A and B are shown apart, each in its own frame.
Chain A
Amino acid sequence: MSKTEKKRILTEDRLREFLREMLLIRRFEEKVEERFRAGELPGFLHVAIGQEAVAVGVCAAMADGDVFGSTHRAHGHTLARGTHPNAVMAELYGKMEGCSHGYGGSMHLYDVERGNLGANAVVGGGIPAMVGAGLAFSMRDEPRVAIAFFGDGATNTGTFHESLNLAQLWKTRTVFVCENNTWAESTPGWQHSPVWDDMSKRAVAFDMHSIKVNGQDVEEVFEKATEALEIARSGVGPVFLDVETFRMHGHYIGDPQVYRAKEDRDEAAERDPIVRLREILQVTSEEWAALEAEVKEIVDVSVEFAKNGTDPQPEDALKNIYA
């Protein structure tokens, strides 16, 4: 399919909105890297630079009432689903205004009002809950879908296999979004999976409908995710989205990537989804500068908001343990 044909799927305005969202996520995460290196952010963090089109495309395809579970690389999913950058940044600073009120941090971003049922720091750990949420929707015959985000590394966990089996068996309203960036932390796909270059074979084993997606093309992600969500929403069964994407940075902020060849990094950089869409839309340098300025303002404001946020009291650590 040529680029011009694709433009018929979405209006140019919508694509420009996608570009803005992707750029916001990119600049937000770059700022997070910067502030982390400056020693302002506790804990440790993982950015998804290079994978913004997956977050934006899938989240844009979701409907009100849909829910999702994310991974340790969750900033993009959370922002793309509409959580305010201030709330995300405040969480990274450990403030009560954060989207998890300081209890979660980067790896546990929640925003239940917007369907974010939590970013999960155990690889594969969040997948089965999306089967259960999809089961609840099926049992009550609600036209809602539960989306599980995970990476290629998670496809080697027991929870992944048990979850796909159960979801397909029970036809739960679930979409599995496999973001295959070909790296499980520092371990390349060819070292961790016999089907690392074709994850849809995982779905085949469970007789599950799968759709291949170029994760660097936000329009295609949106289109295929919309198709997947429609199928799952109809109740005929879950769908596996086999998304090929690229992690442009390391596993965590500060990862020297000694395990990774320069060619591999270069290839990831060449597949930058933002550069790609900017070229397709033929954004002028003036337009681009305006967009950059707009996004920078939002990110800078979020940092100021977070820094001026409220620190929890130490004894707040004993709250929210039981309902």
Chain B
Amino acid sequence: MKTMSYREAVRDAIAESMRASDEVFIMGEDIAEMGGSMGVTQGLLDEFGATRVRNTPISEMAIVGAGIGAAMQGMRPIVEIMYEDFITLSLEQIVNQAAKHRFMSGGQLKVPMVIRTQGGAGWSPGAQHAQQLEAWLVHVPGLKVVFPSTPADVRGLLWSSIYDDNPVVFFEHRLLYPIKDEVPEKLEPIPLGKARVIREGTDVTVIATGPLVHRALKAAEEAEADGISVEVVDPRTLQPLDEDGLVESVKKTNRCVVAHEAVTRMGFGAEVVAVLQEKAFDYLDAPIQRVGAKFAPLAFAPAMEQFVVPGPQDVLDAIRKTVAKA
């Protein structure tokens, strides 16, 4: 094992795949000389050159669309959308084109591409640079959606996404980039569609994504002091969803909290709750609690932003509710 930051792990997966396959290339805004606005692609231009590490104009529709065309012709493009909020500009290409070419052609085409993007609150970027929009994408048949929370997971899952033959929307989180953790010495692919138990427990399962995995771990430590044993499960891939993995944990603990940074209402967590009531209703000893952002755009002032976005205390409160109602 060795240690890597989440940022380094993303870069490593990109670089390793580009070393392994000529058909992998990356394009996006400011990704070449600058190394990306989050510094993820630093050094790639030097190693792979400007043909495979392509700075693009600010044209989210065209760069996603160009990725689609290149993918249909045998390449494996990685398209970086600088901020998750800007993915809205390319949604037509993602939703109507990338997700549907295979289907509309009756299986003649495939579109093996990765659309990497990042977002997340916690640094006062305001309402247009921090949204969590994964729920928009998991609703579209034909797309796969991945949202890893640790360096080891992001490395192995990005590799698998690049080599998947479908369009994959790959969410990273700004606050996770500096997080360091152990990763395998050599990159080990992680299959899409498999949840991971991050922390084992017996009293309540917290199903969390992205930064909420880490906030749930903090909450779990505090709950432990109160004698509550918390299991934290990260679906890692949101589409396809490892329903069995989530159900298995809830059948063991009989209580559940779902937690994400995106707005709670109509969120990804609502789908998880629906799956659990369909498949584990008889095992539940308490209503499932949801943790997410309040229904508001993200305000600029830190006091307002922190009020809207869920933190460890929100997860802890939800854990206590499920136990109290038992």
Partner of A110, one of B70, B74, B106: B106
**Within the assembled complex, what's the spacing in Å between the Cα atoms of A229 and B120?**
46
- Does A321 contact B141, Cβ atoms closer than 8 Å? yes
Residue of A nearest to B144 (CB): A322
- Does A117 contact B72, Cβ atoms closer than 8 Å? yes
Q: Which residues of B contact A130 (CB under 8 A)?
A: 69
The answer, yes or no, to whether A226 is at the interface (CB within 8 Å) is no
Identify the stretch in B90-98, B244-252, B261-269 within 8 Å (CB) of chain A at 4 or more residues: B90-98
Q: Which residues of A contact B74 (CB under 8 A)?
A: 136
Partner of B105, one of A112, A129, A135: A112
- Does B105 contact A132, Cβ atoms closer than 8 Å? no
**Distance in Å: Cβ of B74 to nearest Cβ of chain A:** 7
- Does A128 contact B64, Cβ atoms closer than 8 Å? yes
The answer, yes or no, to whether A100 is at the interface (CB within 8 Å) is yes
**Within the assembled complex, what's the spacing in Å between the Cα atoms of A110 and B100?**
12
Q: Which residues of A contact B72 (CB under 8 A)?
A: 117, 129, 132-133
The answer, yes or no, to whether B66 is at the interface (CB within 8 Å) is yes
**Within the assembled complex, what's the spacing in Å between the Cα atoms of A322 and B141?**
8
Q: Which residues of B contact A127 (CB under 8 A)?
A: 65
**Distance in Å: Cβ of B308 to nearest Cβ of chain A:** 31
The answer, yes or no, to whether A166 is at the interface (CB within 8 Å) is yes
Interface size of A by CB at 8 A reads: 45
Q: Which residues of A contact B101 (CB under 8 A)?
A: 117-118
Partner of A159, one of B65, B102, B110: B65
A284-323 residues at the B interface, CB under 8 angstroms: 319-323
A91-130 residues at the B interface, CB under 8 angstroms: 98, 100-104, 108, 110-113, 117-118, 120, 122, 125-130
Query: Which one of B69, B72, B104 has the highest number of Cβ atoms from chain A below 10 Å of its Cβ?
Result: B69
Q: Which residues of B contact A158 (CB under 8 A)?
A: 61
Q: Which residues of B contact A134 (CB under 8 A)?
A: 69
**Within the assembled complex, what's the spacing in Å between the Cα atoms of A129 and B77?**
12
Q: Which residues of A contact B96 (CB under 8 A)?
A: 122, 125
Q: Which residues of A contact B102 (CB under 8 A)?
A: 320-323
- Does A122 contact B92, Cβ atoms closer than 8 Å? yes
The answer, yes or no, to whether A241 is at the interface (CB within 8 Å) is no
Q: Which residues of A contact B73 (CB under 8 A)?
A: 67, 132-133, 136-137, 146
The answer, yes or no, to whether B295 is at the interface (CB within 8 Å) is no
Q: Which residues of A contact B110 (CB under 8 A)?
A: 323
The answer, yes or no, to whether A236 is at the interface (CB within 8 Å) is no
The answer, yes or no, to whether B17 is at the interface (CB within 8 Å) is no
- Does B93 contact A132, Cβ atoms closer than 8 Å? no
The answer, yes or no, to whether B57 is at the interface (CB within 8 Å) is yes
- Does A101 contact B106, Cβ atoms closer than 8 Å? yes
Query: Which one of A126, A128, A139 has the highest number of Cβ atoms from chain B below 10 Å of its Cβ?
Result: A128
Q: Inter-chain contact count A-B, CB under 8 Å? A: 143
Whether A110 contacts B105 in the complex (CB less than 8 A), given A128-B66, A159-B62, A166-B59, comes out as: yes
**Distance in Å: Cβ of B65 to nearest Cβ of chain A:** 2
**Within the assembled complex, what's the spacing in Å between the Cα atoms of A162 and B57?**
8
The answer, yes or no, to whether A218 is at the interface (CB within 8 Å) is no
Q: Which residues of B contact A139 (CB under 8 A)?
A: 25, 51-52, 70, 75
- Does B68 contact A100, Cβ atoms closer than 8 Å? no
Q: Which residues of A contact B103 (CB under 8 A)?
A: 103, 320-321
Q: Which residues of B contact A131 (CB under 8 A)?
A: 62, 65-66, 69
- Does B67 contact A132, Cβ atoms closer than 8 Å? yes
**Within the assembled complex, what's the spacing in Å between the Cα atoms of A103 and B107?**
9
Q: Which residues of A contact B56 (CB under 8 A)?
A: 166
Residue of B nearest to A121 (CB): B96
Partner of B63, one of A102, A108, A166, A323: A166
**Within the assembled complex, what's the spacing in Å between the Cα atoms of A108 and B108?**
12
**Distance in Å: Cβ of A159 to nearest Cβ of chain B:** 5
Q: Which residues of A contact B54 (CB under 8 A)?
A: 170
Partner of A135, one of B69, B93, B106: B69
**Distance in Å: Cβ of B144 to nearest Cβ of chain A:** 8
Q: Which residues of A contact B77 (CB under 8 A)?
A: 132
Q: Which residues of B contact A321 (CB under 8 A)?
A: 102-103, 141-142
The answer, yes or no, to whether B112 is at the interface (CB within 8 Å) is yes
The answer, yes or no, to whether B166 is at the interface (CB within 8 Å) is yes
Q: Which residues of A contact B109 (CB under 8 A)?
A: 110, 112, 117-118
Could you mark each residue 184-218 of chain B with 1 if its beta carbon is under 8 Å from any beta carbon of chain A, else 0?
A: 00000000000000000000000000000000000
Q: Which residues of A contact B92 (CB under 8 A)?
A: 122, 125, 159
Residue of B nearest to A319 (CB): B107
Which 10 A-B pairs have CB atoms at the shortest separation, nearest pair first? A128-B65, A132-B69, A101-B106, A162-B62, A129-B69, A132-B66, A323-B165, A162-B59, A110-B105, A133-B69
Apart from A101-B107, A139-B70, A162-B59, 4 more pairs, CB < 8 Å: A125-B92, A129-B69, A320-B103, A323-B112
7 example contacts (A-B, Cβ-Cβ < 8 A) are as follows: A110-B105, A129-B69, A130-B69, A132-B68, A133-B72, A166-B57, A323-B165
